[in-house]
């Protein structure tokens, strides 16, 4: 398990454990964060949008083409930042233990 530090949309914070080898979205969805993960991690809904704290964002692999396209699509309705990611596309690993994320707005 890897700890994830979460800032919710209302500014409250919580820490949760995410299973290594699994998408970050699943841990967020299963906790009281408001993340829905409607498409089940298929990069097709944008409901798992998060802002990654900048130092951590730099440690992640770049967005895939599909992720980029979905972020551009939701960016027409909500604020998408350079640190925006779809949490279903972030596979947890030991190097991400302690990652800090803010739950992003969704369309």
Interacting residues with ligand FES (CB under 6 A)? 25, 37-39, 41-48, 70, 86, 88
CB 83 within 8 A of CB 50: no
CB nearer to ligand FES: give 52 or 88: 88
CB nearer to ligand FES: give 3 or 42: 42
> Quick one: which of 93, 100, 103 has its CA closest to 19?
93
Shortest Cβ 56–ligand FES spacing (Å): 18
Helices assigned H by DSSP within 50-100: 54-57, 65-74
The SS3 assignment for 5 reads strand
Shortest Cβ 15–ligand FES spacing (Å): 22
Q: What distance in Å separates the CA atoms of residue 76 and residue 74, rounded to the nearest whole number? A: 5
CB nearer to ligand FES: give 2 or 86: 86
Shortest Cβ 29–ligand FES spacing (Å): 8
CB nearer to ligand FES: give 2 or 50: 50
Shortest Cβ 18–ligand FES spacing (Å): 15
CA of residue 49 relative to chain centroid, distance? 5
């Amino acid at each position: 398990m890897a700890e994830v530090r979460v800032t919710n949309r209302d500014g409250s914070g919580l820490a949760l454990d995410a299973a290594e080898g699994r998408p970050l979205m699943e841990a967020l969805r299963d906790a009281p964060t408001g993340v829905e993960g409607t498409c089940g991690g298929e990069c097709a809904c944008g409901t798992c949008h998060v802002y990654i704290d900048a130092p951590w964002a730099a440690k992640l692999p770049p967005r895939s083409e599909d992720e980029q396209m979905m972020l551009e699509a939701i960016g027409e309705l909500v604020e998408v930042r350079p640190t925006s990611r779809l949490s279903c596309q972030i596979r947890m690993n030991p190097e991400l233990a302690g990652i800090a994320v803010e739950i992003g707005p969704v369309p």
